Amino acid sequence: MGAGCCRRSRDGKQHVIDAYDVAPGRVFPLPYIAPQYIYEALAKPPRKLSYELPEKYLFYPATFWSHKNHPNLFAAIAKLRAQYPDIQLVLAGGKHNGYPAARDAVAALGLERNVTFLGYVPDEDMFELYRRARGMVMPSFFGPTNIPQLEAFVAGCPVAVSGVYGVPEQVGDAALLFDPKSVDEIADAAERLWVDDALCADLAEKGRLRAESWGPVQFSARLRTIVETLVASK
């Protein structure tokens, strides 16, 4: 800590200062960007996929850890199905950890025709899954170390995400925010993505602009500035 450190957000910076008594001038926020493969896919022609995908779907890429909050998302989809029987949710994530419990939850809610489990998805397929999706709904209990919303921004996929620690700063006005503990709020955000074409177009454009304003070039420049500042201060 004495040599300085980088944090992903202003909230994170303040937490380091408060917890470790670090001088504010020695802590530097360095927000995440999407992985390089997403930017590389952006410049390539649309990729052919072998998955059996619904024509219209909401997307959630996440390993089946409990903090990823799949049960509340399933409950939200079950709530919406009464009005939108064709609603579809596609999940990407390896078939381990809480995967069996997730399958059981979907079966218990009678959502087998509304939820598609893709299993593990390689990086080269992710951009196209985002691009085709109606929107991404991410109800994780923790943030903002989550990368999917940043990937979705680059791919032009509308985003709804938990409004938890650091995430509002990360996404700005480019995403719908909800309380991940509230099935009603998750359902409301998912419904808005599902039915509102103008909203989806607006969110997709705001996400693209946000990705352009903070991408690899800006990240590298900021990192260089931080390193130069620390070296100069020795």
Token pair of 75, please?
């409950």
Angle at which helix 148-155 crosses helix 197-213, to 10 degrees, equals 100
Please, what sign has the CA dihedral across residues 48, 45, 54, 96?
positive
CB-CB contact of 200 with 159 (8 Å)? no
CATH 3.40.50.2000 describes domain 36-213 = yes
pTM of the model: 0.89
pLDDT in tens, the chain (234 residues): 344 444 456 666 766 777 777 777 778 888 888 999 999 998 899 999 999 999 999 999 999 999 999 999 999 999 999 999 999 999 999 999 999 999 999 999 999 999 999 999 999 999 999 999 999 999 999 877 789 999 999 999 999 999 998 899 899 999 999 999 999 999 999 999 999 999 999 999 999 999 999 888 998 999 999 888 888 877
144-163 per-residue burial string, b: 16 or more CB within 10 A, e: under 16? bebebbbbbbbbbbbbbbbb
Residues of the chain with CATH 3.40.50.2000: 36-213
What are the residues whose beta carbons fall under 8 Å from the beta carbon of 174, sequence distance 6 or more? 153, 159, 203, 206, 207, 209, 210
